[in-house]
Amino acid sequence: MTYFMQSDEEVRRLQAQASASSYTDRLRLTGLGPGQVALDAGCGPGIITAQMLDLVGPGGRVVAIEPLAEHLAAARALLEGRPNVELRQGALPDTRLPSDTFDYVWCQYVFEYLAEPLPALEELVRVTRPGGRVVVADIDGVGLWNWPFPEDLQQESQKLLQALRDARFDLHAGRKMFHLFRKVGLADIRVHLSPFYVAAGPADARLREDWVIRFRTLRPLAERAFGGAEPYDTFCQRFLALLDDPDTLKYAMVLTTEGVKR
């Protein structure tokens, strides 16, 4: 897995993104509860891991894996002193975790970075116990769903999208999980649709800053796609103006797919 979004600001962006909403309802909806042994696969700075710990309670346990040392350090700092949690450096598709271990496996915003998602999903299934639940949450169309969306800005957006595709990033990873869940033989598959963000009118400060950081982090990749810094800066300014537009709707979705290991 190549995490090209890594930058000095990325941990802060992820913390703000996760802190902006509670995942407790989604975790509970997809089967996480007291006393369970759970895995957070790709825990980032650990904010969702903390919410998972709250749900499993003192009788449960959470293992969290994260490939990036900076993110793992942030998670360790956040979770310091909390019992029943184990943090490990590791990544899909080779977690090196024992088979048939977890009652509940959660993986969010990881599959969008995976060039080969099937082996990663097979690994999540492997570490889940029979009767346990695998849950994957991922994006669909971040930055694409805006209305009105000027045609020339749409065309410019395609340059950035192509650069992301060339880097093996999948803006539509979420919609592909149902088929993959079927392919690996999971049962009782369900898909839940929820907003990643919705801005009816001007975006709030957190969402706008999220995009500013994204654009800065993507600069090395994007400048090549746009043919230089100046055209990329112009695109970024126009997109941010779209976010600020009081007459424009901006939204993106998250698809959360769950299934049971037979």
pLDDT the model gives residue 151: 97
Nearest residue to 112 via CA among 186, 37, 27, 1:
1
Instruction: Give the separation between CA 246 and CA 255, rounded to whole angstroms.
Output: 27
Residue 116, classed as helix, strand or coil, is coil
For residue 47, what are the contacts with CB-CB under 8 A and spacing of at least 6? 14, 15, 18, 19, 78
pLDDT the model gives residue 223: 96
CB atoms within 10 A of CB 8: 10
Q: How many independent structural domains does the chain possess?
A: 1
- 200 within domain boundaries: yes
pLDDT the model gives residue 113: 95
pLDDT the model gives residue 5: 55
pLDDT the model gives residue 14: 55
pLDDT the model gives residue 13: 54
pLDDT the model gives residue 261: 99
Q: Global pTM?
A: 0.91
pLDDT the model gives residue 20: 44
pLDDT along the chain (262 residues), means of 10: 56 53 88 99 96 97 97 96 97 97 98 96 99 98 95 96 92 98 99 96 96 94 96 98 98 97 98
- 1 within domain boundaries: no
- 5 within domain boundaries: no
CATH number for the domain spanning 18: value is 3.40.50.150
Instruction: Give the separation between CA 28 and CA 85, rounded to whole angstroms.
Output: 18
- 4 within domain boundaries: no
pLDDT the model gives residue 4: 53
Domain that holds residue 106: 10-260
- 177 within domain boundaries: yes
